[in-house]
Amino acid sequence: MMRKTSVILLSAATGAALTLLMIQPRAMLMGSSARAATSDTYRQLNLFGDVFERVRSDYVEKPDDSKLVESAISGMLAGLDPHSSYMDAKSFRDMQVQTRGEFGGLGIEVTMEDGLIKVVSPIDDTPASKAGILANDIITNLDDEAVQGLTLNQAVEKMRGPVNTKIRLKILRKGQDNPIEVTLVRDNIRVRSVRARVETDDIGYIRITTFNEQTTEGLKREVTNLQNQVGDKLKGFIIDLRNNPGGLLEEAVTVSDSFLERGEIVSTRGRNAEETQRRAAHPGDLTKGKPVIVLINGGSASASEIVAGALQDHKRATLVGTRSFGKGSVQTIIPLGSGNGALRLTTARYYTPSGKSIQAKGIVPDIEVLQDVPDELKTRTDTKGEASLRGHLKSDGDEKTGSQSYVPPDAKDDKALKMADDLLHGIKSSSSAPAPASGDDKTANKAAADPSPSVKR
C-alpha cells in the first residue's frame, strides 16, 4: 500500500517535505508472548472506551465528541517525545502553507510585542512595501477588530487570505500623532528564506532563515547574483544558519549538495534496520570551490544541523559560533484523510556523514565565538537546547545543553561574522579554516570535497 507522507525536521518551527514511503504489511504470525501483548493492548483500549463513554454521559456539560477524541490523540502523541503531535485540519493546512513558502497575504514579517503586532520588516515588492508600511510600525486593528487579545497566529491568519481580497489596517507609527489607516489588497507572497549581500567588497554573505520549498532555488539565485556582482575578486562565502529552526529534510539535503562534489550527506535510521536511508551528493559545486564559512549558534536546529554537519564532516566548510540546538530526529507527516488533520510522528534519527548522532548533543563549531550581549538581554539569549526538553529522545552518549543564540542587530558588533571575514581574508587562521581561494578552483574544490578517512562514503 502506498501512503502519501511528509518528512520534516523541526525544533520550534514546523516544516515538511513531500515524499512517498512504502508501508509494508506486518506479518500476522504471532507467538504466545505476542498474543498476550495484543490481548493486554485490547484491554487498555476497552478501558479507553469505558472512560470515553463515562465522560460523554456524566460530565457536567455535554462534551464535543470530536474534541474528546482529538484530545486523546494529542495526549497519546505528546507523551512520546516533544516533536510528535496531532495536527487538526487547520494546523495541517497552516503547516503546508509554511513549508511551501508561498501564500496569499500582505508581505510583512511580524512579531508580538505587548499584546500588539509589531512589523519586523516589509518584504520587498509586496502590498505592504508598496503601501509604505515600515519596520517598527504597530498594527492595532485588522479591519474593525482590535488586535489586542489575539495570539500572533490568529493575527497572522487574519492577514492571510485569498489573492485580490482587501484588508484594512490601523497602524501606530513613532513620530505620528494620529493612527494611520491603509487598505491593502492581498497578493501571492513568496517567503524569502534566503537573503544575501556583499561583505567587505569581496565576500558573499548568505543568510538562510528556514528550509522551505523555496530555499535551494533561493540559494542558487543569490550565489549567482553574488558571483556576477563581485566577479573574480570573490574570496568566499559565509552561510549564516544562526537561529534557523529547520524545516524540510529534502531542502537540507539539496542545500548541502550545492557545496559538495560527492560523499554522503546524511543517513536516517528508523526502528528497523531495513528502514535506513542514505543521501549522497552529486557532482557539481555551486560555489566553484570557493572557501565556505558556516555560522551556527544555539538556535540552529534540525535541518540547519544537517547542513552544518555534512559540510563540517567533509571538511568543506569551517563552522564558527556556538554549539547548535541538538535535534537529531526526523518527523513524518501522516495525513489522516479529508478533514481529519495529520499525525506528526518521530520515525527516525539522523546521522552526519561520519556516523555521528547529534541528538541532545548538538554540533560543536570548529571555532567557538561568543557574542557581547547587552546586560538587559543576558538572561534571554541562551537556548537550552534539545537535551532540556521533557521527554526528548535520549542521546547515545553524554548530553549537552545550553548555548548562546544572540545575534547582534548591527553587523559591526557581530564577532562571529568578523571572525568569518578574517578567516576568509587570511587575517586569522585555524587548522580547520579553509584556505583563501586562489588559482585552480577545481583543484581546491576536489580537495575540499574529499572526506577525511573517518567519513563513511
Buried b (16+ CB within 10 A) or exposed e, 217-236: ebbeebbeebbeebeeebbb
C-alpha 142/C-alpha 164 separation (Å) is: 17
Name the active-site residue from 240, 256, 257, 327. Answer: 327
User: Is 240 among the catalytic positions?
Assistant: no
Name the active-site residue from 85, 193, 302, 329. Answer: 302
Length of the chain: 457
C-alpha 6/C-alpha 15 separation (Å) is: 9
Residue 351 contacts residue 307 (beta carbons within 8 Å): no
Planar angle of CA 266, 205, 265, nearest 5 degrees: 10
Determine the straight-line distance between the first and last CA of the chain, rounded to whole angstroms: 32
C-alpha 37/C-alpha 29 separation (Å) is: 14
Name the active-site residue from 88, 257, 313, 366. Answer: 313
List the one residue out of 353, 365, 249, 251 whose CA is nearest residue 298.
365
C-alpha 160/C-alpha 424 separation (Å) is: 42
User: Is 442 among the catalytic positions?
Assistant: no
The residues near 326 (Cβ < 8 Å, ≥ 6 apart) are 301, 305, 358, 359, 360, 361, 362, 363, 385, 386, 387, 399, 400, 401
Helix axes 65-78, 32-58, angle to 10 degrees: 140
User: Is 313 among the catalytic positions?
Assistant: yes
C-alpha 76/C-alpha 10 separation (Å) is: 20
**Taking the CA atoms of the chain, what radius of gyration do you get in angstroms?**
24
List active site positions. 302, 313, 327
